[in-house]
Structures are given as C-alpha cells and as structure tokens.
Amino acid sequence: MTNQYSAAYAKLENSLAGSSLAWLNDIRAQAKEQFIEQGFPSLRDEEWRYSNLAVLDKKSFAPVLASELGHIDVADLEAYKLNDCWTMVLVDGHYSAGLSDLQGIPDSVTISSLAEALTDKPDTIKRYLGQATNIKEPGFSAFNQAWFTGGVFVHVAAKAILDKPLQILHLVTGAEVLANTHHLIVLEASAEASIIETFLGCEEQYATVSVTEVFVEKNAGLNLYKTQLESDKAVHLGGVYVKQARDSRFNHHNFSFGAVLARTDVHTDLGQAAECDLNGLYLGVKRQHIDNHTRINHVEPYAISKELYKGVLNDKSRGVFQGRVLVAEQAQKTDSDMHNHNLLLSDNAEADTKPQLEIYADDVKCAHGITVGQLDNQAIFALQARGIDEVSAKNMLTFAFANEMVNKIKFKPLHDQILMQVLNRFPQAGIDQAWL
C-alpha cells in the first residue's frame, strides 16, 4: 500500500537520517505501515475531534532534499537567534552546520544532528528513539517516525549543567514544503539544561511536523520552551513526549502564535515525586485554529503537576485546549493542578476547552479550573477609578492576561523576544514597553 506521502518520501529514502541502519529502517517500516493504515487523525478520533487535518491530504505537501533547499534569508534568521545561546538550525527538516553555532560546548554535553549521532553512537539512539512516543495512537508520531529527515540529539551527562540554553531554530523556506524532524533530548541523573525550540518559515503555505522525545533521568531538570511563529498560512504539528524519572523536573512553556492550523501535544509520564509545570499561551487572530493537547500521566506516587494554559482569541480564530490528567492506582499523594483560561475578544471567536481527570488512586489532590469569557469587570473598574479610560483599561488587561505567561520566562533574551511578539500582536494596546 502507498499513499501520497509514501510516494513523496520515496525519493528521500536513502537520505533520511540513519538510512544505513537496519534497526532504524525496521522501526521506520513499522511506522510507515502504521501510518499508511491509519493516516492522519480524523475528527472521529476523540483526541482530535476539534481539529480537522484534511488539508494534509488535500494539499501536496512534500519533503525536499538537503540539496534542494529554498532561499534562506540569513538576516531574518539572525534576527530570531537569541543572545547567549548555542544554536542548532534546521532548514526544511535538514540540519545546517553552517548556520549553527556550538562553539565551546562543554565535554559533558553532546549536541549534534541526529544523523551524526546515529553514525557516532547508534546504540545510544537505539535505546531512546521511539520509547516516549506511541505510533499506534491517532496522531502524527507514526508519520514522523517513518520519515523524519533529521533532527537534533542532546545528551547531558550526569550532574552536568548546560550553562547556556540551546536554541533549535526550525526554518521552512518554500511553498508546499513538508519539514519533518525528530529530536532526542536525554538528561542523565541530576543534569540540568534549558532548550528553546523556535519555529519559523517563509510567508507561504507549508507544513511542519516535529517530534521531540525527552528523557529526564533521576533528579534532573529540563526547561523546554517552544516558540511557534510559523507563517500565517502554515500547518504545524508539534509533539513533545517526556519520560520523567524519579525526582526529576520538567518545565515547559508553549507559545503558540503562528500558523493557520497548529496543534501541539505535550505528554509526560511522571515517576515518583517528579514535577512538571506546563505553561501555554496561544493568541489567535483571523481564522487561526490553535489546538493544544496535554497529557500528564501520574504513574508513581508523590508527583506534582502544575498546568496553566491561557488563550486570547480574536476575529474568527478558534482555540482548543484538551488537558488530560491520569492518576494511576499506585500514584498516591499525587498533587495536580490544571487551569485553562480563555479570553474571547470577538463574537466570532471560539474556545473549546476540555479538562479530563481520570483518577484511580484514592489519596490525591487534583484541582482544575476552566474559564471562557471576557475581561473581569472589577478589574476594568479598578483601572477606571485610577483615571484610565475604559478602552485603555481593556487593552491593558488583555495584554496583562497574556503577559502573565511571558513573565514566567526566566531567560531574559527569550523573555524579551516573546514580549515583542506579544506586543506586536496587541498594537492597539499602546503598552509602554519601557515600563513593563
């Protein structure tokens, strides 16, 4: 059996990362079979019921060879590179050594392209690849595993600290290009790192599929940021799948601003006393459709999960939040707190929010709170009572609603970059940046 994607990828078969490795070809083949059988999810799949991916079958998105990359606007790319970071750049799904900068990486840390890692340490990759994802579930993991062209491999040795963040920039250069990448991030025991994924593209219709598998070993801590600034015509499917060992910490910040259709999955399995903190901000304008799906799996006792996702939806945009928290029978003393708040700025905007708690343990604390609505009238009045007119008060509060999530970013260059993005999306607010 074939479909348009197996045909499209046929020409890349020998240039996919690790194409000489038999074990990898096997798991790619399994994934391909799985994908050809089930395709992309449909609205009938419970976890995809709000997001229609039909565009992926209607349009002829196709991968490109590393030798066929489109024009790279280096100045534009440089503008998104953050100060005080190491940089990995992927163009149309292919690692670009020339645009990347890894000078001075400590010996205790490995950062390389996935292709290079598959050559240098195939056994390490084999141990992790596909272990955090599940290709049988409706989604895009099977597609990704079948045909990822490349990606990034990060390994931080036990007790090592990556003292500057790593920024992974994804750039798509042409219309109808399909960029499909797979990253592996492994933090050994008591290691720490911050990694930022930035998604960019030309002003065309293209598609990004990105899977990041994360393994946070005992007592290690990872801050992972995602800044999705795709073109406003693009389709974006991004997944982060995390395995957290005992006492580990995982903080995720998901800023979803671009693309006409964007979906982000964040799944984490929590070991004993592990902590996760999932934050999200989505800003919808025009006809954007932004779907965030999180799954927090309390497998062991004493783990703590915190989640706050906020959406501001204008025009005819639609925001979707699905948050699942599963607490296994043995996961006693779980402490879980999930919130999703949506602000609708237009009568035609829509928010769909679905918290799901599945609790099989009996001694747990699980809270959740969901709101969809307008600004708080008390707060508007409080500002008016200080001389600020109603329109300015509303603008200030709308900005503040989003800015709460921006303020959670501890790395200043990223904080400032996201703040500019948010300000640019609320031009009417007249926020005086100098005083924030």
Partner 1 sequence: MISIKNLHVSIGDKAILKGVNLEIPAGEVHAIMGPNGAGKSTLSHVLSGKAGYTVTEGSVTYKGQDLLALEPEMRAREGVFLAFQYPVEIPGVSNIYLLKAALNAMRKHRGEAEVDALDFLALVKDKIKTLEMDEKFLYRAVNEGFSGGEKKRNEILQATILEPSFCILDETDSGLDIDALKVVSAGVNALRDEARSFLMITHYQRLLDYIKPDVVHVLADGKIVKSGGPELALELEAKGYHWVEEQVA
**Interface positions, 6-25, toward partner 1 (CB under 8 A):** none
Stretch that binds partner 1, among 90-98, 120-128, 231-239, 372-380 (CB under 8 A): 372-380
Q: How many CB atoms are closer than 10 A to CB 211?
A: 26
CA distance 73 to 101: 17
CA distance 227 to 396: 23
Element (H, E) at 88: strand 86-91
**From 390, 410, 412, 420, residue interacting with partner 1 (rule: CB under 8 A):** 390
Q: How many residues bind partner 1 (CB under 8 A)?
A: 30
**From 400, 413, 415, 416, residue interacting with partner 1 (rule: CB under 8 A):** 400
Give 414 or 429: the residue with its C-beta nearer to partner 1. Answer: 429
For 123, the token pair is 């056994």
**From 1, 10, 75, 434, residue interacting with partner 1 (rule: CB under 8 A):** 434
Under the criterion CB under 8 A, does residue 392 sit at the interface with partner 1? yes
Closest residue by Cα to residue 145 from 36, 3, 41, 1: 36
Burial grade of 277 (CB within 10 A; 0-12, 13-18, 19 or more): middle
Under the criterion CB under 8 A, does residue 374 sit at the interface with partner 1? no
Under the criterion CB under 8 A, does residue 403 sit at the interface with partner 1? yes
Q: How many CB atoms are closer than 10 A to CB 25?
A: 14
Closest residue by Cα to residue 303 from 321, 280, 322, 328: 328
Query: Smallest distance from the beta carbon of 250 to partner 1, in angstroms?
Result: 23
Query: Smallest distance from the beta carbon of 223 to partner 1, in angstroms?
Result: 21
Angle at 431 between CA 429 and CA 432, to 5 degrees: 160
CA distance 301 to 272: 5
Q: How many helices (H) and strands (E) does the chain have?
A: 10, 19
For 245-349, strand residue ranges (E) read: 249-256, 261-270, 275-284, 289-298, 304-313, 318-327, 335-344
**From 404, 415, 416, 425, residue interacting with partner 1 (rule: CB under 8 A):** 404
Under the criterion CB under 8 A, does residue 424 sit at the interface with partner 1? no
Query: Smallest distance from the beta carbon of 318 to partner 1, in angstroms?
Result: 23
Residues 206 and 232 sit within 8 Å (Cβ to Cβ) = no
Q: How far is CA 293 from each of CA 107, 180, 237, 365, rounded to the nearest angstrom?
A: 36, 20, 11, 22
Q: How many CB atoms are closer than 10 A to CB 55?
A: 14
| Polymer length in residues for the chain | 436
Give 75 or 385: the residue with its C-beta nearer to partner 1. Answer: 385
Which residues, including other chains, have CB under 8 Å from residue 121's CB and lie 6 or more apart?
A: none
Query: Smallest distance from the beta carbon of 254 to partner 1, in angstroms?
Result: 17
Under the criterion CB under 8 A, does residue 399 sit at the interface with partner 1? yes
Give 185 or 429: the residue with its C-beta nearer to partner 1. Answer: 429
Stretch that binds partner 1, among 20-28, 38-46, 141-149, 380-388 (CB under 8 A): 380-388
Under the criterion CB under 8 A, does residue 381 sit at the interface with partner 1? yes
Q: Which amino acid is at 397?
A: L
Give 17 or 406: the residue with its C-beta nearer to partner 1. Answer: 406
Give 14 or 433: the residue with its C-beta nearer to partner 1. Answer: 433
Phi and psi at residue 337, to the nearest 5° = -145, 115
**Interface positions, 229-248, toward partner 1 (CB under 8 A):** none
**From 397, 409, 414, 429, residue interacting with partner 1 (rule: CB under 8 A):** 397
CA distance 56 to 148: 16
Under the criterion CB under 8 A, does residue 426 sit at the interface with partner 1? no
DSSP class of 429: G
Under the criterion CB under 8 A, does residue 416 sit at the interface with partner 1? no
Query: Smallest distance from the beta carbon of 384 to partner 1, in angstroms?
Result: 4
Stretch that binds partner 1, among 89-97, 188-196, 202-210, 391-399 (CB under 8 A): 391-399
Query: Smallest distance from the beta carbon of 179 to partner 1, in angstroms?
Result: 34
Which residues, including other chains, have CB under 8 Å from residue 223's CB and lie 6 or more apart?
A: 165, 193, 194, 195, 251, 253, 410, 411
Give 223 or 403: the residue with its C-beta nearer to partner 1. Answer: 403
**From 382, 410, 412, 428, residue interacting with partner 1 (rule: CB under 8 A):** 382
**From 35, 199, 257, 401, residue interacting with partner 1 (rule: CB under 8 A):** 401
Give 6 or 392: the residue with its C-beta nearer to partner 1. Answer: 392
**Interface positions, 246-305, toward partner 1 (CB under 8 A):** none
CA distance 310 to 5: 35
**From 1, 22, 75, 387, residue interacting with partner 1 (rule: CB under 8 A):** 387
Give 399 or 411: the residue with its C-beta nearer to partner 1. Answer: 399
Residues forming contacts to partner 1 in the complex (CB under 8 A) are 376-379, 381-390, 392-393, 396-397, 399-404, 406-407, 432, 434-436
